[in-house]
A = this chain, B = another copy of it.
């Protein structure tokens, strides 16, 4: 519950007014000349933004996913169809989405309306669409980081994850730190180590304790390599969009290094994001009530109209010895105790200047369990699922004693929200563990 009568500061991030329009009704009747099945993750109701290149045109450039194609915005901006665009051509004649992300929500809305029109069945583009539609899944098409990430912050906003981790580390009585229910705990991450889905990474080598009681560390390949099922948002005053994220974590390096200044090398060897940024406009139909806040939050975090997005998130593992993925977990984007608007409000409260192309992670998203135990099918990390590695579990495909990630293991996160007659997909966020560097 929020404090009754508390006044919200004028700078509190708010969804733009156009989001309150009943676009769900509109969504049911709009279609595109691009053909795709009704359960396709990239219908015209989605229109996520990304950056791509092709073997024949290796310059990276912005695009929008539509069905099995990418609408090449750089190419489109050089055609006569751009005459109706509310956005200057130069905004998309660049290597990333930074210039577009730096515009205002009204511009994003106007451009979405333009895209919806230009892709509609009656669009004049239909006659010469081949020039601007690129096969999305072709081997010759490559996806890249969508923005030049400025600063990267990772929150720790899932109550269930924080509680589960706290129980394992400190026991149920002190599972949550005293500050946790008063502010969205977060820390600065490493922007340079964020990579796009499909980029493999080497198992990190770092300082760990060989035995927990040791005083002298060793320098060795990480033995407790974990994933973190997350989502992240791009935005400053307003949220431009959401991506899937896997914040890979080296738990043994983390345990040894993180007191008192927080995670450092245990997190900055690799963080993977999916290539497609899904907009709030596409997610509007999937709003759900935010978490109840007890104790009440301070007024600067008051967000009476706050909401989360119900987007199921699936995590699968393909082990080195297996041909197929095993489903491990289904959580949801909605499992943050704090809304994304509250994260922004907190982040900027002391005067920190947020920039358009900053990225902010939700933290690991685990779903509620029952009163006695976590929901094993909805946990966002191996730390939780294997109880700090003490309780191996069985995968559908192959491995019977899963604890931490082994060399050759791949992890894939996907997210699809099912609407009325259509789906909103987030693409996939995949990464594979390579062996530690030789000699390490």
* Chain A residues at the B interface, C-beta cutoff of 8 Å: 9, 150-151, 153, 156, 177-179, 182-183, 185-193, 201-202, 204-207, 215-219, 222, 250, 253, 256-266, 268-270, 295, 298-300, 346-347, 349-355, 358, 437, 439
Contact = CB atoms under 8 A, between A and B. Distances in A.
B347 A265 contact: yes
A439 B150 CA distance: 29
Among A177, A222, A259, max chain B CB count under 10 A is at A259
B250 A204 contact: no
Nearest to A263: B261
Contacts of A201: 351
Contacts of A218: 298
A250 B202 CA distance: 37
Q: How many copies of the chain does the oligomer comprise?
A: 2
Contact of A192 (B202, B207, B259, B358): B358
B188 A187 contact: yes
B177 A250 contact: no
11 contacts: A177-B260, A178-B215, A179-B257, A185-B257, A185-B260, A188-B188, A258-B260, A258-B262, A260-B262, A261-B262, A270-B351
Nearest to A259: B177
Contacts of A263: 261-262
Contacts of A355: 192
A204 B350 CA distance: 5
Given A177-B259, A300-B219, A183 B202 contact: no
A261 B265 CA distance: 13
Given A179-B217, A187-B261, A265-B347, 20 more contacts: A153-B264, A182-B216, A182-B217, A185-B261, A187-B187, A188-B264, A193-B353, A206-B349, A217-B298, A219-B298, A222-B350, A258-B261, A258-B262, A259-B260, A260-B262, A261-B263, A265-B349, A265-B350, A266-B350, A269-B350
